[in-house]
Chains A and B, each alone.
Chain A
Amino acid sequence: MYAASDANALFAGKYFLIIDDFQGMRSMMREMLKTFGVKNIDTVTNGNEAIACLEKNKYDVVLCDFNLGVGKNGQQILEEAKHRDLIGLSTAWIIVTAEKTADMVFGAAEHMPDDYILKPVNEATMSSRLEKVINKKALLVDIEKALRAKKYALAVALCDEVLASSSSNTTELQRIKTSTLMTMGQYDQAKQMFEQILSKRDIPWAKTGLGKVAFYKNDIERARQLFREVINQNPAYLEAHDWLAKCHELSGELEEAQRVLVRSTELSPHSVLRQKSLGELAHKRGDTDTAEKAFRKTIKLGEFSVHKSPVAYLGLAKICSTRNNPAEALQILKNVHKEFENPETALHAKVIEGMVYRESGDHQSAAKISKEVAELVRADDNVSNAKVMLEAAQLLLATGNKEAAENLAKNVVKNNHENDQLLAQVNELYSQAGFQDKGQELVNKSRQEVIETNNRGVILAKEGKLDEAIKLLSDAHTLLPNNKRIQINLANMAVLSMRQNGRSDHLMQLARECLECVAKLDQQEEWCAKMHAALDAIPE
């Protein structure tokens, strides 16, 4: 038969990975694939083996059972593989499952499998789905390369090319294109595309995308309305729930935000990230019962997940402490040191440990920890998380370690000199400790220092002394790696210099680093889109 040999040729050179905990199922699938003409097949029985294989080899198709017994489930393996960049757009991930659930289908919007095949698996279905998915993925190879090289404009152009030439796989290409536009900060272009899709048909992901554009453009009211519309038409569409909760939280409607999150955790009971969000929000609201439950679930669900996060451990430790259970709080903090190696997390755990001792009245231990925290902070004053630094400053102040507290507070102010909310928190911290004037003076003085440096740089640049300006701000940037304004100016100067003197690898890298850092600090920063475009426009 012509059709069969055609398909055989398609399958012959491809690499397959089968993940299933049942021996019978593995051999059944292997035999089935062999009859299709597949030659290269690896089989594994669990998540850890799968990850080990994915680290070593590149696969074209992964057939993954959802329920794998103890350890990671199929979705968690996919999340880890995507998160760690073990697979790209051109690898097809197919989940084999007895039943589709909301958790599976809408669980992780950015980590969706390419297809689901329902058990019992039938040969005809399997072969036609595989053929379809392999052909689809072949179109994405170049786009994946462009995205890996962070050549976003090129990726968008490639999407347009494929969209124009082929009518299959339109949806996936539209999704890749719009999400790339969003990464670039080209919200208007993304919006235009979403609207164009929606003019023909109501599609939940496109409407959710439109909502995200409104969110990033700070039109929270419109965003909220769009996410609600998606949920009304499609009650189990989880991504819209996530965003609606964010909108409520941003507008200060915490109770409403919590209601939405509770609903979304009901719909996706296995989602680590949603339990974590629920825990954080409930904790913020002072609903410690809900927070405690959610944090405990987050820890349990996250055991094998790449989304395992210290936030739940630290939050739970704080709650235990306020509930007069310092023993459990300290035990949890001990586990944090075991489970996470990140220095920022270690510092945060130490700070909370100090607070636990203080709250339990063990002032001697609190003072000892406070000293250790002061040491840690001195050794590494580039901790990027302002929240952790503020908590550390609070502990240092409360335990009489004034000098260390002051250095830390200055650091926070200088790194965030335009963030009024944080500056207010620094002031508040000092007022609470009874040093209101001291706080005000510290904030004003530190802020002024940064502004002056910045202005000097701008003046130098205006005078045409670009090299000097870049040197000045680079030094400032090294001292204050998280100051948004300095990074923006620095990247702008780098572009200006390259426009005048031609492309330079060093300046290109500097500008890209600043850009990535600013995007991380502030997703709503509109400057990022302009910088992406400016960097793309610099000739090779």
Chain B
Amino acid sequence: MIDDNKQEATPDISAFLASAIHDMKNSISILIKFLSSSITELEPEAQRHAAPMLYEAQRVNDNLIQMLAIYKVGNQFYPFDLTENSVDEFVQGIVEQNKNLLEYLGVELETDFDEGLTWYFDRELVSGVISHALSNASRYTKGKLKLSAKEEEGELVIRVEDNGSGFPASVIEAGDAVRKGVNFSSGGTGLGLYFSSMVAKLHKNRGKTGAMFLENGGTYGGGCFILHLP
């Protein structure tokens, strides 16, 4: 009797969460669109002040997309869509998406990729990972970012590098732990790291699995986010 009541009282919240996230994502998308077009009209000085609003809205949006994807992959519902993509177009697309925010923040973005290279990956997911890494780096950089995508030893290696003071040791540790599948929970960075690592691991090819790394150093001596896709 009591058990029955208990079951009544605790419905499966995950399905509600998924649809609520979906709904919130739509609202945030509209908010971002509105913010972007409003900020464009401002003077450059005012743009710099307003930019954090856009940045925070973008962060909420990223988090929602990540949660929805994690939920769906967990339930084996995610339509993992491995297609051939032009690396050139992929990089341009990311730049296009983040151009406004970076401009308002006064951050300079350099790109470097193998021309004519195509690679198999899920465009939506990888673009989610890289956009997130880029917006994260834009917060800690001292004005310079570099996005590169190159073939290295049979894998596509995408790097997001900044000239900030690098990741703190705890974040690098968390990155290692998530990659090894040991434990994930380290406050604010947990979700993004887990998502990036999950996306990397979904990409498999002929016995090889994708991976995500966090390092310090790289081109500008700052933080360096690296995604390997086989």
Chain-A contact segment, one of B3-11, B25-33, B157-165, B188-196:
B25-33
Q: How far is the CA of A118 from the CA of B124 in the complex (A)?
A: 9
In the complex the two chains form, is B82's CB within 8 Å of A203's CB?
Answer: yes
**Min CB distance, A264 to chain B, in Å?**
12
**Min CB distance, A493 to chain B, in Å?**
46
**Min CB distance, B210 to chain A, in Å?**
13
- When distances are taken between beta carbons in the complex, the residues of chain B under 8 Å from A101 are 77, 79
Binary B-proximity of A156-182 (CB < 8 A = 1, otherwise 0): 000000000001101100000000000
- When distances are taken between beta carbons in the complex, the residues of chain A under 8 Å from B205 are 201-202
**8 Å CB contact of B204 from A98, A105, A202, A267:** A202
In the complex the two chains form, is B29's CB within 8 Å of A120's CB?
Answer: yes
**8 Å CB contact of B79 from A102, A118, A128, A167:** A102
Binary A-proximity of B106-130 (CB < 8 A = 1, otherwise 0): 0000000000101010001000000
In the complex the two chains form, is B97's CB within 8 Å of A122's CB?
Answer: yes
Residue B83 is within 8 A (CB to CB) of chain A in the complex:
yes
Residue A540 is within 8 A (CB to CB) of chain B in the complex:
no
Query: Given A118-B124, A122-B97, A171-B84, do A235 and B76 touch, yes or no (CB 8 Å)?
Result: yes
In the complex the two chains form, is B80's CB within 8 Å of A128's CB?
Answer: no
**Min CB distance, B207 to chain A, in Å?**
9
**Min CB distance, B170 to chain A, in Å?**
34
In the complex the two chains form, is A102's CB within 8 Å of B78's CB?
Answer: yes
Residue A233 is within 8 A (CB to CB) of chain B in the complex:
yes
Q: Report the nearest B residue to A168, measured CB to CB.
A: B86
Query: Given A98-B26, A171-B84, A201-B205, do A106 and B79 touch, yes or no (CB 8 Å)?
Result: yes
In the complex the two chains form, is B77's CB within 8 Å of A236's CB?
Answer: yes
Q: How far is the CA of A170 from the CA of B76 in the complex (A)?
A: 29
Q: How far is the CA of A101 from the CA of B29 in the complex (A)?
A: 18
Query: Given A120-B30, A120-B33, do A167 and B116 touch, yes or no (CB 8 Å)?
Result: yes
Residue A204 is within 8 A (CB to CB) of chain B in the complex:
yes
In the complex the two chains form, is B77's CB within 8 Å of A267's CB?
Answer: yes
- When distances are taken between beta carbons in the complex, the residues of chain A under 8 Å from B124 are 100, 118
- When distances are taken between beta carbons in the complex, the residues of chain A under 8 Å from B89 are 128, 132
Q: Report the nearest B residue to A170, measured CB to CB.
A: B84
Query: Given A98-B26, A233-B204, do A203 and B120 touch, yes or no (CB 8 Å)?
Result: yes
Query: Given A105-B79, A167-B116, do A125 and B93 touch, yes or no (CB 8 Å)?
Result: yes
**Min CB distance, A521 to chain B, in Å?**
35
In the complex the two chains form, is A100's CB within 8 Å of B116's CB?
Answer: no
- When distances are taken between beta carbons in the complex, the residues of chain B under 8 Å from A236 are 76-80
**Min CB distance, B38 to chain A, in Å?**
15
- When distances are taken between beta carbons in the complex, the residues of chain A under 8 Å from B45 are none
- When distances are taken between beta carbons in the complex, the residues of chain B under 8 Å from A103 are 79
Residue A506 is within 8 A (CB to CB) of chain B in the complex:
no
Q: How far is the CA of A233 from the CA of B210 in the complex (A)?
A: 13
- When distances are taken between beta carbons in the complex, the residues of chain A under 8 Å from B92 are 128
Q: How far is the CA of A203 from the CA of B120 in the complex (A)?
A: 9
**Min CB distance, B58 to chain A, in Å?**
13
- When distances are taken between beta carbons in the complex, the residues of chain A under 8 Å from B26 are 98
Binary A-proximity of B65-100 (CB < 8 A = 1, otherwise 0): 000000000001111111110100100110011000
In the complex the two chains form, is A119's CB within 8 Å of B29's CB?
Answer: yes
Q: Report the nearest B residue to A119, measured CB to CB.
A: B29
Residue A234 is within 8 A (CB to CB) of chain B in the complex:
yes
Residue A52 is within 8 A (CB to CB) of chain B in the complex:
no
- When distances are taken between beta carbons in the complex, the residues of chain A under 8 Å from B86 are 132, 168
In the complex the two chains form, is A99's CB within 8 Å of B78's CB?
Answer: no
- When distances are taken between beta carbons in the complex, the residues of chain A under 8 Å from B77 are 101-102, 236, 267
Residue A149 is within 8 A (CB to CB) of chain B in the complex:
no
Residue A124 is within 8 A (CB to CB) of chain B in the complex:
yes
Residue A104 is within 8 A (CB to CB) of chain B in the complex:
yes
Binary B-proximity of A117-136 (CB < 8 A = 1, otherwise 0): 01110101100100010000
**Min CB distance, A325 to chain B, in Å?**
32
Query: Given A120-B29, A128-B89, do A105 and B96 touch, yes or no (CB 8 Å)?
Result: no
**8 Å CB contact of B206 from A105, A202, A235:** A202
Q: How far is the CA of A233 from the CA of B82 in the complex (A)?
A: 11
- When distances are taken between beta carbons in the complex, the residues of chain B under 8 Å from A237 are 80
Q: How far is the CA of A427 from the CA of B123 in the complex (A)?
A: 58
Q: Which of A240-268 contact B (CB under 8 A)?
A: 267
Residue B59 is within 8 A (CB to CB) of chain A in the complex:
no
In the complex the two chains form, is A100's CB within 8 Å of B79's CB?
Answer: yes
Q: How far is the CA of A168 from the CA of B116 in the complex (A)?
A: 9
Q: How far is the CA of A233 from the CA of B26 in the complex (A)?
A: 30
Residue B49 is within 8 A (CB to CB) of chain A in the complex:
no
Query: Given A171-B83, A202-B206, do A122 and B96 touch, yes or no (CB 8 Å)?
Result: yes
Q: Report the nearest B residue to A101, measured CB to CB.
A: B79
Residue B180 is within 8 A (CB to CB) of chain A in the complex:
no
- When distances are taken between beta carbons in the complex, the residues of chain B under 8 Å from A100 are 79, 81, 124
Q: Report the nearest A residue to B29, measured CB to CB.
A: A120
- When distances are taken between beta carbons in the complex, the residues of chain B under 8 Å from A125 are 93, 96-97
Q: Footprint of A on B, CB under 8 Å?
A: 22, 26, 29-30, 32-33, 76-84, 86, 89, 92-93, 96-97, 116, 118, 120, 124, 204-206
Q: Could you name 26 residue pairs across A and B whose Cβ atoms are closer than 8 Å?
A: A100-B79, A101-B79, A103-B79, A104-B79, A105-B79, A105-B81, A118-B124, A120-B29, A120-B30, A122-B96, A124-B93, A125-B93, A128-B93, A132-B86, A132-B89, A167-B116, A168-B86, A201-B205, A201-B206, A202-B204, A202-B206, A233-B204, A234-B80, A235-B80, A236-B79, A267-B77
Q: A122-B96, A202-B206, A235-B80 are in contact. List 16 more A-B contacts (CB 8 A).
A: A98-B26, A100-B79, A101-B77, A102-B78, A105-B79, A120-B32, A124-B93, A128-B92, A128-B96, A170-B118, A203-B120, A233-B204, A234-B80, A235-B76, A236-B76, A236-B79
Ranked nearest first, the 10 interchain pairs of A and B with the lowest CB-CB distance are A105-B79, A235-B76, A102-B79, A124-B96, A171-B84, A120-B29, A236-B79, A105-B81, A202-B205, A201-B205
Q: Footprint of B on A, CB under 8 Å?
A: 98-106, 118-120, 122, 124-125, 128, 132, 167-168, 170-171, 201-204, 233-237, 267
